[in-house]
Amino acid sequence: MSNFIFGRYLPLNSTVHRLDPRSKLLLSFCYLIVVFLANSWLSYAILIGFTLAAILSSKISLGFFLKGLRPMLWLIAFTVVVQLLFSPAGGHVYFHWTILNITQAGLVNSGVIFIRFLLIIMMSTLLTLSTQPLDIATGLSSLMRPLRWVRIPVDTLAMMLAIALRFVPTLMDEATKIMNAQRARGVDFGEGGLIKQAKSFIPLMVPLFMSAFNRAEDLSTAMEARGYRDSEHRSQYRILTWQRRDTMTWIVFLMVVAAMLATRRW
């Protein structure tokens, strides 16, 4: 669990870390679409190259990155195997048994799925590893600002998101603390049969919920005591500014997209 890096933040000082969170969020989103547009091996090679370059320029070591993604491999492997066995007929048939087929088309398809999966996971992991949760929240709320015109309470949503993200580490610490206390009282977490395992989480979940509710109450009291009111136009402590490196990043990204489009089969 401790080396599972999906969704975590790694404080370093690199160009990728310093990019505007809005540009990282938008870019990750566009990348998602771009990955599904690629269809030739060369176009995938270009995207793989771009992804590796992005990871390298974040100063996060590739070995650490791959090791942290190992738990995700099961999910990927499962998808690939399903794709491999249940794919439609096409090309040479290598293996056939009742409804299971391994065909050439299936082989190619599962290869494509594997690459797409890996690329998307790597890019979104890079996003969270290089961006503080609060920056992601600020970036999201800034991107959602136009939705105000259709009367969506963007500021309130952003505040909720920021508070939720802020309390993730606090609750994680709390959970560790409670787990330790219960372990010292003889609870074995994650051992025994399914029912025993599920039961062992009651002594964790009850105190955790208690403390989360208490915290929420304290926080709301503290916010009200300092005059917080909903849906006021509030100024922000973190001001996002679009830098030249953001523009440069987008130029590189658009060039990669153009190269990918040029090499894909139409």
Partner 1 sequence: MAITFEHVGYTYQAGTPMATPALSDISFTVPDHGYLAIIGHTGSGKSTLIQQINALLKPTTGKITVDDFTITPQTTNADLKPLRRHVGMVFQFPESQLFEETIQRDIAFGPQNFGLSEEEANQRALDMLKTVGLDESFADRSPFELSGGQMRRVAIAGVLAMQPKVLVLDEPTAGLDPQGRQEMMTLFNRLHQEQGLTIILVTHQMEDVAAYADEVAVMQAGKLLTCATPQEVFNDPAWVQSSDIAVPRAAKFAQQLDKRGVKWDQLPLTADQLADQLVQHWPGMGAQHE
Element (H, E) at 66: helix 62-68
Query: Using CA atoms, how far apart are residues 66 and 152, in angstroms rounded to an integer?
Result: 39
Residues 6+ away with beta carbon under 8 Å from 10: 60, 129, 130
**55 vs 178 by CB, closer to partner 1:** 178
> 20: number of CA atoms within 13 Å, CB side?
20
**64 vs 78 by CB, closer to partner 1:** 64
Identify the residue among 53, 181, 198, 254 touching partner 1 (CB under 8 A): 181
- Min. distance of Cβ 230 from partner 1 in angstroms? 30
Mark 175-193 as b/e (b = at least 16 C-beta within 10 Å): eeebbeebeeeebeeeeee
Helix (H, G, I), strand (E, B) or coil at 55: helix
**2 vs 98 by CB, closer to partner 1:** 2
**36 vs 173 by CB, closer to partner 1:** 173
Does 2 help bind partner 1 (rule: CB under 8 A)? yes
Tell me the two tokens of residue 170: 């606090």
Stretch that binds partner 1, among 22-30, 36-44, 207-215, 255-263 (CB under 8 A): 207-215
Identify the residue among 156, 180, 243, 247 touching partner 1 (CB under 8 A): 180
Site string for partner 1, 68-97 (x = CB under 8 A): ------------------------------
Taking residue 257's Cβ as centre, other Cβ atoms within 10 Å add up to: 19
Query: Using CA atoms, how far apart are residues 8 and 3, in angstroms rounded to an integer?
Result: 10
Does 14 help bind partner 1 (rule: CB under 8 A)? no
Does 186 help bind partner 1 (rule: CB under 8 A)? yes
Q: Report the interface residues with partner 1, using CB under 8 A.
A: 2-3, 10, 12, 60-61, 64, 174, 177-178, 180-188, 191, 202-203, 206-207, 210-211
